[in-house]
Structure 1
Amino acid sequence: MQDQSKNAALLVMDMQNGIVSHYAEDVVFPPVQKALAHAREHHIPVIFIRVGFSEGYPEVSPQNKVFSSIAKIGGMTTSDESTQIHAAVKPEANEPIVTKYRFSAFAGSTLETILRSRQIDTLILCGIATSGVVLSTVREAFDKDFSLTVLKDACFDQDPEVHRVLTEKVFPKQANVVTVDAWCDILV
């Protein structure tokens, strides 16, 4: 794989308090922190993606099985602690935090506007969960003609077999799938 750092951005997706808390932090943070450090060192823009809703949940349809249950029990509003990016991967001042309303990083967000305004055509993806935001974003970004790299050891899913199938069989049809170390090696 060749160096794709020109016109690229690292998307750090759903690394927010309410989601990270369901995973072993000593497993999740080291590869994401390494990817962040490398992107910053090589002047690759970093964009954080989070899921969150307005007070009263006007963005949530009762037909949406996942998000309607959140609306019923409460939490996950944009001001709630659960939607804030975890301190272990804290954004720097110039790094945007984009709020989305569904699984895909593009769904209802300003992500595409930010990418197009910066002439970014290559996305490097990491985040939680592989079967959620990563899958949905890979599919939509591919349809939008972005070049894609998935950092497989910086993506996490509660089902290891689903993660394996996605990173070994599904994603390679639409993205380069590499480890953080392999990605860093091409940026040296």
Structure 2
Amino acid sequence: MGATTLILLDVQNGIIDMLGRVEMEPYLEHLASALSAARSSGIKVIHVITAFRPGYPEAHPTNASFAHVMQHGLFQVGDPAIEVHAAVAPTPEEPVVTKRRVSAFTGTELEMILRCTGSDHIVVAGLITRGGAVDCAIGDGFGFADYDEEVHRVLMDKVFERKAEVITGKDWAAKLTE
């Protein structure tokens, strides 16, 4: 097997705030532990955030996925909401890829970075399990969290397992130290 890369998807302040900082603390602790194990094992890490330029030129006005974001002026470049959460903050060597679509691959340099680093095995962790970014990352290229436990369970147990190996961050981190 070649290089493994951990992709942390949308673990940024604004999304943590939307989901509830207190509710997200256990998830962030588990994610930080898995990230630490990955770094200790020499696994490359890439952070992916969602951010838009002022005026949202990347989002069509009729795009229902981004309507709320545009209406409330959220996730614009320079806003602390787009910063990676401190619990999993990138090191200077870890690239931060900015996505302006739902997919981390569409219109970003993520695929190029993965190819240039020789990555042929990716591990994706991030927010939010349902639809959107996480589902696109699995379909395009895989711990996740969602605010609806039942939706999360169904996706992890019935949908994602058909596309990828599904494993908890804790179990993955333990495998790294074996």
User: Conserved in 1, the CA contact under 8 Å of 2:29 and 2:87?
Assistant: no
Aligned counterpart, 1:57: 56
The Cα shift of 1:79 comes to 1.2
**Does residue 40 of structure 1 match 2:45?**
no
- Which digits, 9 at most, give the CA deviation of each residue in 1:71-119, with x for residues without a partner? 1221211211111111121111100110001221112211011111111
Q: Give, in whole Å, the separation in 2 of the partners of 1:75 and 1:9.
A: 29
- Identity over the aligned pairs, expressed in percent? 37
Q: Which amino acid in structure 1 is aligned with residue 35 of structure 2?
A: L
Aligned counterpart, 1:102: 101
The list of structure 1 runs, each at least 4 consecutive aligned residues, that deviate by more than 6 angstroms after superposition, is none
Aligned counterpart, 1:19: 15
**Does residue 185 of structure 1 match 2:174?**
yes
Q: Give, in whole Å, the separation in 1 of the partners of 2:34 and 2:126.
A: 11
Q: Give, in whole Å, the separation in 2 of the partners of 1:12 and 1:29.
A: 11
The Cα shift of 1:55 comes to 1.1
Q: TM-score, normalised by structure 1?
A: 0.87
Unaligned runs of 5+ in 2: none
Q: Give, in whole Å, the separation in 2 of the partners of 1:26 and 1:83.
A: 18
Unaligned runs of 5+ in 1: 142-149
Q: Give, in whole Å, the separation in 2 of the partners of 1:29 and 1:70.
A: 23
Classify the secondary structure of the residue corresponding to 2:54.
coil
Count of residue pairs brought into register by the alignment: 173
Classify the secondary structure of the residue corresponding to 1:176.
coil
Classify the secondary structure of the residue corresponding to 1:54.
coil
Q: Which moved more, 1:167-176 or 1:99-108?
A: 99-108
Q: Give, in whole Å, the separation in 1 of the partners of 2:37 and 2:76.
A: 31
The RMSD of aligned alpha carbons is 1.3
Aligned counterpart, 2:154: 165
Q: Give, in whole Å, the separation in 2 of the partners of 1:185 and 1:89.
A: 18
**Does residue 140 of structure 1 match 2:140?**
yes
